[in-house]
Amino acid sequence: MNIDGVTNGIVIDHIAAGRSMEIYHYLKLEKLDSCVAIIKNVRSTKYGKKDIIKIDEIIDVDLDVLGYLDPHITVNIVRDGKVMKKMNLEPPRELKNILKCKNPRCITTTEQEIDQIFRLVNEETCSYRCVYCEALAKGGD
């Protein structure tokens, strides 16, 4: 299969196999007017298989969401067919309004205008805790 390269846009690479649709929805890529290609189960020497998302437009991408979902992702900014910037991600220290606390007694479930804030507590497991009630959430939940 042959998928054209991106002339001006973004390539989200090294996505764990099978997770590209989740990322597509988290980033709200369905709202874009430009071409978006999702390539699933690409052979990778480093990961075995991986997914790739190619966006034919340079947009603001929420790196915190990507770092939370899969810290192994790389984001490439492409201009005139050349990679101008390559970003390696890591789990963000704090997530704001990305996760929702699952604790029914947390203040964020009754006071809906309060920001949902989680802080990284374990980088290896990508675990976060709610700042209000200490409920635990793991990467990609």
Domains of the chain (ranges, CATH numbers): 9-88 (3.30.70.140), 94-138 (2.30.30.20)
- Cβ-based neighbour number of residue 35 at 10 Å: 12
Predicted confidence (pLDDT) per residue in 57-116, tens digit: 999 999 998 999 888 899 999 999 999 999 999 999 999 998 999 999 999 988 989 999
Q: What is the pLDDT of residue 101?
A: 94
Percent of the chain having pLDDT more than 90? 72
Q: What is the pLDDT of residue 139?
A: 59
Among 4-8, 103-107, 129-133, where is mean pLDDT lowest?
4-8
Residue in 72, 67, 74 with CA at minimum distance from that of residue 10: 74
Site of tokens 């007017």: 33
Q: What is the pLDDT of residue 10?
A: 96
Q: What is the pLDDT of residue 47?
A: 80
Would you say 103 and 136 are in contact if contact means Cβ atoms under 8 Å apart? Answer: no
Would you say 99 and 137 are in contact if contact means Cβ atoms under 8 Å apart? Answer: yes
Q: What is the pLDDT of residue 96?
A: 94
Would you say 74 and 14 are in contact if contact means Cβ atoms under 8 Å apart? Answer: yes
